[in-house]
Structure 1
């Protein structure tokens, strides 16, 4: 399971404490240890995602990732901050982050999209993308803040895209200063190509050489992570769902596999495409109902043809109709 330094978790803990809320129930539910966090041990990324979702509901902050990333001291990123900040130009800083990001978070893969000028892609490895909103938004906000701080200017991206759903993205759009879209096929931030050549105010070739060596040593010390095939399949399905294209043949093609080989690899792990698809739909349905989306919207986002098909599936997953489950969420709202 991919791990991280848990910066977002620590920031969320501080937010809970600032508001006088006991973090213990949320940590237990997410499978996190207060003692382990106090000793700065690494945390599982999936547990961090679950923790942020629970904290967001408890604090009634549907933009928790933005809240946490908007004003923390960027130096808390540790050696990643310094290896980026001591680079010559912003494009060089991004290349450093591209190479060393997994020191801080083994699940995150930051890539400069080739041949596109200033497009930066954010990808998950070993973690299902569909379960997250807050952490991905925190990454994007932190990246834009880092750009602005390193170049000493309020750089505005051309656009930002996220794979998860939001009905109203004005809050993050206001912070980033650009058009933001959701339900996209990728998580991506686009800058003007000229931003890549902007000089950094903290350029220090001697410090940069030192930090590159330190990061290379830290990277070598990390156990190479692998992305389970199931997670690859889930992350391929995610952007296909709202378009009704989540079919085994389509997913196999996107993974450069024949349909037969695709089925054989799933079977080798004791899985089937139908099982994975159904489990993803269940997880997303529960999250969407908790977010109070309309049943008609959820029907479309999960790739069902008719509302009755979604209603039937919801009863099978939860024992309740969509409206009954939504009411139960309101009744049971709280730390649990």
Structure 2
């Protein structure tokens, strides 16, 4: 707990708010101490959804899965500001998830816990064995665990551009087996009052830029002009908005690339050339020079200092 920056009284206090980066950190430490590289996934299997409170009871009393997912998107922040859900029901049923304040591609145990929990919750709400069409995560694993495919019924796309679950569009119309219109109306009224008294989370320009960078980076298109266009502003307006937060686009892009590079180098077995491509570099030498400028060491030297992830992985 102390390594994660937690105090015992925070755990004992059910009303205490714990930053999501701390939540992610303590799961990583637990996985290391237990020598269980699938700790988040295993924890999900026994998790009691009712412990989430309103963020579960409201979706579970909804009429259809589509309604339940929209409710989850709206009310999750009542209990956890750091978990950001985005639901897309236009021709597909997609659930995208991010953890605010957690470096891109890191926090694998936390991310796997929540993504697999969402699949399990959708199955529980509809009393079906729903299988995703696609299951994407930003972090990397050297080898996909057998348990993941057995649970999902599809492969996991590691080192992807998003943390996302995609079901066939038709599943959104499935009825929720525990639907209760009267209870739902009562809970929604209570939750809306709670949201009204809660200050909305401030979306920073940094977080918006990082979100826009992610899908463009591997294709070498993460440039200021393209990002400004994605955000619906001019390049000059983007520069002013970043300056107001003490940032420049080039510095933010370097920081984002550095964080991703460290995650790829220390938590997986991608080759240096593969990592260079994922970061938008066409030449390994260019990536190596940039990484040395950021960290004072080369990618190979950093990887050499770290034990291989596969040595502690649980084999199945």
TM-score by length of 2: 0.85
1:90 aligns with 2:65: yes
Return the alpha-carbon distance in structure 2 between the equivalents of residues 242 and 64 of structure 1. 29
Partner of 2:127: 152
Return the alpha-carbon distance in structure 1 between the equivalents of residues 84 and 181 of structure 2. 26
1:31 aligns with 2:13: no
SS at match of 1:263: helix
Partner of 2:50: 75
Return the alpha-carbon distance in structure 2 between the equivalents of residues 309 and 119 of structure 1. 36
Partner of 1:115: 90
Return the alpha-carbon distance in structure 2 between the equivalents of residues 289 and 170 of structure 1. 19
Partner of 2:302: 325
Relative distance call for 1:43 and 1:71 in structure 2 (3 A) is: same
CA contact (8 A) 1:87 1:208 kept: yes
Which of 41, 45, 53 is the matching residue for 2:28? 53
Relative distance call for 1:62 and 1:308 in structure 2 (3 A) is: farther
Alignment of 1:169-188 (within 5 A): 169-171=144-146, 172-188=148-164
Deviation at residue 127 of structure 1 after TM alignment: 5.7
Q: Deviations over 1:111-140 (max 9, x none)?
A: 331422423333556665444433333222
Partner of 1:141: 116
Q: Deviations over 1:15-67 (max 9, x none)?
A: xxxxxxxxxxxx33333323212212111122223333344444444444323
Which of 205, 216, 225 is the matching residue for 1:229? 205
Which of 263, 277, 280 is the matching residue for 1:300? 277
Relative distance call for 1:179 and 1:63 in structure 2 (3 A) is: same
> 154-163 or 178-187, which moves further after superposition?
178-187
Q: Deviations over 1:119-166 (max 9, x none)?
A: 333355666544443333322211111111122221212222334444
Which of 74, 77, 83 is the matching residue for 1:102? 77
Give unmatched runs, 5+ long, in structure 2: none
> 121-130 or 131-140, which moves further after superposition?
121-130
CA contact (8 A) 1:290 1:326 kept: yes
SS at match of 1:310: helix
TM-score by length of 1: 0.81
Deviation at residue 268 of structure 1 after TM alignment: 2.2
SS at match of 2:307: helix
Q: Deviations over 1:150-207 (max 9, x none)?
A: 2222121222233444454454333211243234444332223332222222222232
Partner of 2:187: 211
Alignment of 1:267-278 (within 5 A): 267-278=243-254
Q: Deviations over 1:81-128 (max 9, x none)?
A: 211212222222112212211112223333331422423333556665
SS at match of 1:148: helix
Return the alpha-carbon distance in structure 1 between the equivalents of residues 289 and 37 of structure 2. 28
CA contact (8 A) 2:224 2:249 kept: yes
Return the alpha-carbon distance in structure 2 between the equivalents of residues 155 and 218 of structure 1. 32
SS at match of 2:2: helix
CA contact (8 A) 2:21 2:100 kept: no
SS at match of 1:330: coil
Alignment of 1:242-321 (within 5 A): 242-293=218-269, 294-321=271-298
